Amino acid sequence: MTQIKICGIKTLPDALAAIAAGADYLGFNFYPKSVRFVEKFACAEITSALKREHPQIKLVGVFVNSSVEEVKDIMKTCSLDLAQLHGDEPLETLASFNGKAFKAFRGIPESADEFARSVPPAFLLDASVKGVYGGSGVTADWQGAAELAKKYPLLLAGGLTPENVAEAVRRVKPWGVDVASGVESAPGEKEAGKMVQFVKAVRASQSSDQ
């Protein structure tokens, strides 16, 4: 079953609405320039409630060119399961997390083999938008992603919406899909109805495949 990650969570009500809609993973953005940025201790309040009430949900921190020390500190404070490295981090940085981190690529990478994790998600594939580290609303290269998805359990991001995610799943066949702006009423504000529609579209695309 395709895994669903709803990213850019900033409040507990949005987190609970995402879980109610059917999300498997929740993402918290620690990139200060993002409209979805969440402060460490605000996130810790949210995640402590989630760990208590919904321990099955995987919690992911999104980081852009942060130091290893900072990422590890935030992961510990916020009880995060995984770190998503969404900047220009080298292989050595990824290796510092002993399997608790995965790389996000903007565009089709040449070095997927080096960066791929042995467990899913191997990595995340986002759209390539100059000067923007994710959350752009621009769709990724689905054709290139489909080729990579034959080799790796990848997480597909980039401009996914309730309207296009079923086609994306059919064409790319990713391990999982990642959405932020596509389920918002305004930048950084999740809309429960859109999250429900998104999850339904993913599930419907799979049932039609079978």
Please give the positions annotated as active site.
7, 126
Residue 64 one-letter amino acid? V
